[in-house]
Each structure stands twice: as structure tokens, then as C-alpha cells.
């Protein structure tokens, strides 16, 4: 079966758009991570979830497209923490919006000049949704 070139091109374009519209969520507490993914998917987002900043960074450096949004905790096990992850992401692409979802605000000074939005734990679904929609509106459903 031969598809028209425009159909193949449209399919690739849609795949590229979908890849670009990914939110990366980094949270070491499994239940919180699962809940965040479920909530964000219910809002219409494509989500990639990671338990450590190290895993998330490996995913990010291997992506051909910039992130739509990064949501990360600050304190996590591994080689790098949330602060270092935000710094690396912004070194690659300073325009990437970031939500730091944390109950720990000790690193606030080191991130205050970045494009970072704070979401203190615990937070409501409405608060999360509002910040996400402001920074990275969900893709329209077709």
C-alpha cells in the first residue's frame, strides 16, 4: 500500500508535535509521581515520569525536541538533585518552563533568576492545573 507523500508528512509532523508536547515529571515518592502522572494525563498532557533527576536528564539529553514543561521535586537520591536538573535544562534551553513542586524551599535563592515557578507541597489539583495551563497549555484534542 502506497500512502501519498502528504499523508506520510502529516503523520511525521503529528509525531514530532506529540514528542514536543511532552511534560517531564521527576519525583522520588512513587505515590506522588503516579498521582501527578494521572492528573496531568487527565488534563490532556503527554507525560514522561522519572523517579530520579539522573534518569530524567538522560531522557532529556536524548530528546530531539525541547520539553514543553518540566515538573520536578528538589531533593532526590542520585548524582544530581532537582536544582542541578533545572540548571542543566536551562543551560540547554533557557526558555523551558519549570515547576518546582517541593516542600523544601532552601534552594529558592539559587533558582530565583530562572524561569521557575514554585508549587509548595501539599498542593491542590486546581493549583497544579492553573500553573500548567499558564505555562504550557494542553494540546487540543482533535
Task: Please report the pLDDT score of residue 126 as a whole number.
Answer: 93
In a domain? residue 2: no
Residues in the chain: 142
In a domain? residue 57: yes
In a domain? residue 84: yes
In a domain? residue 140: no
- Closest by alpha carbon to 103, among 121, 125, 86, 82? 121
- Closest by alpha carbon to 100, among 127, 71, 136, 80? 71
In a domain? residue 23: yes
Count: domains in the chain: 1
In a domain? residue 141: no
Low-confidence ranges of the chain (pLDDT < 50): 19, 142
Helical spans, DSSP H, in the chain:
5-20, 30-42, 53-61, 82-92, 108-111, 125-135
Task: Please report the pLDDT score of residue 140 as a whole number.
Answer: 67
Q: Give the residue numbers spanning the domain of 107.
A: 7-135
Task: Please report the pLDDT score of residue 139 as a whole number.
Answer: 75
Task: Please report the pLDDT score of residue 120 as a whole number.
Answer: 84
43: domain CATH number is 3.40.50.2300
What is this structure's pTM?
0.81
In a domain? residue 142: no
In a domain? residue 22: yes
Task: Please report the pLDDT score of residue 106 as a whole number.
Answer: 62
Who contacts 43 (Cβ-Cβ below 8 Å, separation ≥6)? 129, 132, 133, 138
Task: Please report the pLDDT score of residue 103 as a whole number.
Answer: 77
Amino acid at each position: 500500500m502506497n500512502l501519498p507523500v502528504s499523508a506520510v508528512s502529516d503523520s511525521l509532523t503529528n509525531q514530532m508535535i506529540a514528542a514536543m508536547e511532552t511534560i517531564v515529571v521527576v519525583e522520588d515518592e512513587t505515590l506522588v509521581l503516579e498521582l501527578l502522572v494521572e492528573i496531568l494525563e487527565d488534563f490532556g498532557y503527554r507525560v514522561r515520569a522519572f523517579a530520579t533527576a539522573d534518569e530524567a536528564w538522560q531522557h532529556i539529553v536524548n530528546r530531539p525536541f525541547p520539553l514543553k514543561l518540566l515538573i520536578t521535586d528538589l531533593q532526590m537520591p542520585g548524582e544530581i538533585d532537582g536544582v542541578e536538573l533545572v540548571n542543566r535544562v536551562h543551560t540547554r534551553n533557557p526558555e523551558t518552563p519549570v515547576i518546582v513542586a517541593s516542600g523544601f524551599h532552601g534552594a529558592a535563592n539559587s533558582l530565583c533568576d530562572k524561569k521557575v515557578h514554585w508549587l509548595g507541597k501539599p498542593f491542590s489539583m486546581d493549583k497544579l492545573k492553573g500553573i500548567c495551563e499558564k505555562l504550557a497549555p494542553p494540546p487540543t484534542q482533535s
